[in-house]
């Protein structure tokens, strides 16, 4: 099969023929029809996250935001059959550990991530293990490109805002960082009835955030974001999201909150922070702030999100600003080093 292969960290991906995946009894082979190019791919391409224990053996095929068609199923698979249209969740569980049994497959004790734990959607075909618990059927009226835009960025924002931070109608939500996950958070918070403030340092991204439903935008290069948010909201945001994972956005997010506000950490750090960011502990104590982490989304939460997409209440397709061939995937990754991409880019042509 054709694939864009990571052969050396921080070097261009190499498009070449690689062996087709082999079916297992509990697995399914998916023909990928669309796959998003995500900042998590960039972290892997950079060789980041070794402090988290993520060390990819090379060569490797990235890609974890995929949708497609079931090409083949293993002998033990019962819930899916050849020809089914599916989305492949980023957070996958084995279905047997205590976390999975409690409905938290996204933090499975033996969890796997496509494109990290095994070869992913930058290849034409992908083998998904434990298919009965790690695939989700795609509604007929949701296209493959739109489905690829759902994960991991969109579904991560959905789980974080709806399940973890429990955003309520009428609340003020500040989103720091208008990359793919930040823009997703803006659209989702708006759909939940919140008033959204978008924060970034790029005017074009802020303009896009406005199109997606932000009530106000703040350029953090021009003003102090936290102070401006407190003025706009008469006291601070009820929920503030760090959608990037750098010290500046994390600290600004916490400083943007009103008393008893909730800080939602979605962005993962890079080599500069290596997971360690200084926080204003006294502010957290005195204002009774809550710090909430969120990783991916449990598989059982997909149906509600997909129903909202099917009904037009959520529009992940609006975030797609570019569709490319597999030959262009590597260039898209490289451009993320300078934060040059906007919205979501999806590979749709092999």
The answer to whether residue 171 scores a pLDDT higher than 90 is yes
Q: Are residues 148 and 277 in the same domain?
A: no
Question: What pLDDT is recorded for position 190?
Answer: 97
What per-residue confidence (pLDDT) applies to 263?
98
User: Do residues 49 and 190 both lie within one domain?
Assistant: no
For the chain, count helices (H), then strands (E). Answer: 12, 15
**Angle, CA of 315, 320 and 322, to the nearest 5°:** 165
Q: Both 170 and 253 in a single domain? A: yes
Q: Under 8 Å CB-to-CB from 174, ≥6 apart: which residues?
A: 196, 197, 199, 225, 229, 237, 239, 240, 241, 253, 256
Query: Quick one: 45 and 118 in the same domain?
Result: yes
Would the pLDDT of 237 be above 80? Answer: yes
Least reliable range by pLDDT among 236-240, 260-264, 300-304: 300-304
Q: Is residue 157 part of a domain?
A: no
CA distance 6 to 8: 6
**Residue 307 lies inside a defined structural domain of this protein:** yes
> Is residue 276 situated within a structural domain?
yes
Query: Quick one: 314 and 200 in the same domain?
Result: no
Q: Choose the final residue of a domain: 252, 268, 293.
A: 293
Q: Is the pLDDT score of 50 beyond 90?
A: no
Which among 261, 276, 293 is the end of a domain? 293
> Do 39 and 147 lie in a common domain?
yes
* Residue 342 and residue 247 share a domain: no
180 domain residue, yes or no? yes
Give residue 211's pLDDT. Answer: 94
Asked if residue 232 and residue 192 are part of one domain, the reply reads: yes
Looking at the fold, whether 262 and 287 belong to one and the same domain comes out as yes
- How many structural domains comprise the chain? 2
Token couple for 251: 């600290």
Q: Is residue 82 part of a domain?
A: yes
| Domain housing 317 | 2-152+297-349
Arithmetic mean of pLDDT, 125-141: 95
Query: Does 49 score more than 80 pLDDT?
Result: no
Per-residue pLDDT reduced to its tens digit, 290-346? 999 999 999 999 999 999 999 999 999 999 999 999 999 999 999 888 877 788 899
* Same-domain status, 289 and 301: no
* Cα distances (Å, whole numbers) of residue 261 to 183, 223, 283: 21, 22, 11
101 and 67 in a common domain: yes
173: three-class secondary structure by DSSP: strand
Whether the pLDDT of residue 54 is over 90: the answer is: no
pLDDT of 20 higher than 90 = yes
Q: Is the pLDDT of residue 119 over 90?
A: yes
The values of phi and psi at residue 173, to 5°, are: -125, 120
Q: What is the mean pLDDT of residues 46-57?
A: 78
Query: Would 159 be classed as within a structural domain?
Result: no
Choice between 46 and 167, residue whose per-residue pLDDT is larger: 167
The answer to whether residue 247 sits within a structural domain is yes
281 and 305 housed in the same domain: no
How much of the chain, in percent, has pLDDT values that exceed 90?
83
Give the strand pairing for 125-128 and 195-200: unpaired
pLDDT at 240 over 80: yes
Q: What pLDDT score was predicted for residue 343? A: 84
CATH code of the domain in which 51 resides = 3.90.180.10
Using the predicted structure, report yes or no on whether residue 60 has a pLDDT greater than 90: yes
Say which CATH number the domain at 189 has: 3.40.50.720
Q: What is the mean pLDDT of the chain?
A: 94
Give the residue-averaged pLDDT of 247-271: 94
Please check whether residue 128 lies inside any domain of the structure. yes
Among 253, 277, 293, the domain boundary falls at 293
Is residue 237 within 8 Å of residue 173, measured between CB atoms? yes
For the residues 212-216, what does the mean pLDDT come to?
96
């Amino acid at each position: 099969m054709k694939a864009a292969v990571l052969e050396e960290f921080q070097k261009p991906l190499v498009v070449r023929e690689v062996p087709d995946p082999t079916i297992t009894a509990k697995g399914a082979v998916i023909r990928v029809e669309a796959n998003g190019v995500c900042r998590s791919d960039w972290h892997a391409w950079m060789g980041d996250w070794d402090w988290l224990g993520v060390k990819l053996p090379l060569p490797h095929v990235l890609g974890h935001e995929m949708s497609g068609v079931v090409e083949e199923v293993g002998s033990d698979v019962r819930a899916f059959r050849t020809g089914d249209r599916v989305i492949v969740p980023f957070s996958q569980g084995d279905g047997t550990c205590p976390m999975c049994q409690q409905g938290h497959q996204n933090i499975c004790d033996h969890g796997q991530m496509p494109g990290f734990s095994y070869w992913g959607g930058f290849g034409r075909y992908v083998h998904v293990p434990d298919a009965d618990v790690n695939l989700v059927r795609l509604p007929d009226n949701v296209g493959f490109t739109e489905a690829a835009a759902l994960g991991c960025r969109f579904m991560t924002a959905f789980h974080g805002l709806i399940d973890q931070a429990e955003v309520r109608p009428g609340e003020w939500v500040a989103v720091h960082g208008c990359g793919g996950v930040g823009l997703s958070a803006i659209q989702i918070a708006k759909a939940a009835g919140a008033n959204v403030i978008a924060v970034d340092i790029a005017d074009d991204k802020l303009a896009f955030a406005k199109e997606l439903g932000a009530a106000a935008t703040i350029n953090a290069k021009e003003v102090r974001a936290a102070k401006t948010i407190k003025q706009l909201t008469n006291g601070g945001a009820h929920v503030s999201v760090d959608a990037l994972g750098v010290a500046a956005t994390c600290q600004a997010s916490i400083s943007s909150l009103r008393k008893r506000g909730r800080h939602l950490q979605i962005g993962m750090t890079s080599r500069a922070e290596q997971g360690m960011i200084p926080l204003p502990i006294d502010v957290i104590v005195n204002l009774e702030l809550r710090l909430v982490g969120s990783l991916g989304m449990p598989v059982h939460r997909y149906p509600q999100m997909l129903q909202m997409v099917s009904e037009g209440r959520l529009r992940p397709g609006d975030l797609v600003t570019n569709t490319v061939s597999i030959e262009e995937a590597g260039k898209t990754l490289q451009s993320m080093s300078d934060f040059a991409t906007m919205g979501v880019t999806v590979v749709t042509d092999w």
